[in-house]
Chain A
Amino acid sequence: MSRVPVVSLEGIHKFFGTVHALRGVDLSIDRGEVCAVIGPSGSGKSTLMRCINQLETISAGRVRVNGELQGYDERDGRFHVLPPRRIDAQRRKTGMVFQQFNLFPHKTALQNVIEGPIQVNRQRRAEAVRLGMGLLDRVGLSHLADRYPSQMSGGQQQRVAIARALAMEPEIMLFDEPTSALDPELVGEVLDVIKDLARNGMTMMLVTHEIGFAREVADHLVFMDQGCVVEHGKPLDLLDNPQHARTRAFLSKVL
């Protein structure tokens, strides 16, 4: 197998109106790799992640998943917008977990998990339920399958959200500050699930404020500030021996 990275970002720029949110970001994530992105608020880390599954459209550059250009067909040096169906198909390859969980409130935990397999992957109901119960079991919640999100704690909701993303069997899991909205005592249960995924070789990108967790679980740590990747490398190297003043300034505040 040729070593095509699961995600490769090439020269990504993003403007929100006149705000230059991403200023030429290059990044690649290999299969089985866990890439954690840290940085101050407003540094563009969430925006960068949202560009990967096209929740944001990029202003310049290329996003590739398994080598496939996302969102566009590039012909004669121009970018032709893909039809919605192709974009939906590309999004299936990435699973996303949001800071605010975003579970579907009118559906039970199990219904949340099997919505994608049934509606998108056209799986049989029985098969999807088996898959869904397996995934809920994996995040330790099979006993709450019939609960609605409003009847669960934040940590439980986030674990259901992880199961929902896993149900699509994505190539990569994107975690957008998955523990930032949780009460402190509930953070651990979510991090344990993510750690378990990492052990099982899931390719992951993780935007986080949990520096300690990033150090423990990540293979690759990226520090972003003001829309740029300031520095990246092995977590221990970056955290213990930062090369840039901005990295040192940030770490001195959070560690």
Chain B
Amino acid sequence: MAEKHGPHASEKGKQDEQIVRNVIIPRRHPGRWIALVVLGLLGIEIGRSLLQNPNFHWDVFLQYLFAPTVIAGVGWTLFLTVTAMALAIICAGALILMRESDNPILRTTAWLWIWFFRGTPLYTQLLFWGLFAVLFPRLSISVPFGPEIFGVPTNWIITASVAAILGLGLNESAYLAEIFRAGFKSISPGQTEAAQAIGMSRGRIWWRILLPQAMRTIIPPTGNETIGMLKGTSLVLAVPFTLDLMFATNAIANRIYLPVPMLMVAGFWYLVVTSVLMIGQYYLERHFGKGQDVTGGRHV
């Protein structure tokens, strides 16, 4: 430390004792206290006006918060979100590989896919998937321009939930593909070159070198998309799919003529699920930030 500069540089042990540490007085933050008081009062006042307001029907809210169709609705909404997101991630992974490949046919196909699914409204796509069985009554494998080998009625396969998942997932894949592309683009070309220089194959470079680094930039917007998807599931009534949270709470609201408490029930559960997803995102970000994000404590 400062040992070379002291007058008794040779007496090292004594030196340490002679260092007089600066007495640091932290800055005062009166503004924080004022803000706390103001916001606290505001919060109490808003809370009171909400809780004591009879128009909110908190008794009804509590009565239906854990109603069986509501809980089942949470389950279905979560199921739709997870499966549609999984489908979207798989498709987007394939799309990004196609878009960055040397093969011009694959590149064009991926471009067209993204163009179409991003360019038409989700609601329209869901309606289309709902009508799929009407448009194509029979799904079959056949010789091109020839006889059918094997076939089944479409509505055996494209049920309401499958239609909902396909509609949500394929639409989402187009957005995710662009997010993934941005993630891969953010990596310096030197990373690929360094991996090529040790003779790694293209596939391994993608999987072991580029993907883990791209994940850092991919995760936050993908978390956004997942939360958007959670709430986007309320659109599946276009299919029509009638078991999700929004439909369940709406159905009760229409029956009891009290929309407000049922909207609060739906809002409550969407918040709960979003919070759980955010915890998951935190751990994913921490995992993929290894070696790159600053991990140490903040300097004061």
Interface residue ranges, A against B (CB under 8 Å): 53-55, 84-85, 88-89, 91-92, 94-96, 98, 100, 102-108, 115-116, 119-120, 148-150, 161, 164-165, 167-168
- Residues from chain B with Cβ under 8 Å of A168 in the complex: 198-199
B196 contacts chain A at the CB level, 8 A cutoff: yes
Q: Is the CB of A116 within 8 A of B199?
A: yes
Interface residue ranges, B against A (CB under 8 Å): 188, 190-191, 193-202, 204, 208-209, 212-213, 288, 290-292
The complex places the Cα of A106 from the Cα of B187 at a distance, in Å, of 12
Q: Is the CB of B191 within 8 A of A150?
A: no
- Residues from chain A with Cβ under 8 Å of B191 in the complex: 102, 104
Q: How far is the CB of B204 from chain A (nearest CB, A)?
A: 6
Q: Which of B196, B201, B213, B292 makes the CB contact (< 8 A) with A85?
A: B201
8 A–B contacts, CB within 8 A, in A order: A53-B197, A55-B197, A102-B194, A104-B194, A106-B213, A106-B292, A120-B198, A120-B200
The complex places the Cα of A102 from the Cα of B290 at a distance, in Å, of 17
The complex places the Cα of A117 from the Cα of B196 at a distance, in Å, of 13
Chain B interface main SS type = helix
Q: Which of A54, A55, A92, A105 makes the CB contact (< 8 A) with B198?
A: A92
The complex places the Cα of A115 from the Cα of B209 at a distance, in Å, of 10
Q: How far is the CB of A46 from chain B (nearest CB, A)?
A: 12
Q: Is the CB of B213 within 8 A of A105?
A: yes
Q: Is the CB of A96 within 8 A of B201?
A: no
Chain B residue at minimum C-beta to C-beta distance from A100: B190
Q: Is the CB of B292 within 8 A of A115?
A: no
Q: Is the CB of A119 within 8 A of B197?
A: no
A55-B196, A98-B190, A100-B190 as given contacts; A84 in contact with B292, CB under 8 Å? no
Q: Is the CB of B199 within 8 A of A84?
A: no
Q: How far is the CB of A28 from chain B (nearest CB, A)?
A: 21
Given contacts A96-B197, A105-B291, 18 further A-B contacts (CB under 8 A): A54-B196, A84-B201, A85-B201, A88-B201, A91-B196, A92-B198, A92-B199, A96-B194, A100-B190, A104-B194, A104-B209, A105-B292, A106-B288, A116-B198, A116-B200, A150-B292, A164-B194, A168-B199
- Residues from chain A with Cβ under 8 Å of B204 in the complex: 119-120
Q: Which of A89, A96, A148, A164 makes the CB contact (< 8 A) with B290?
A: A148
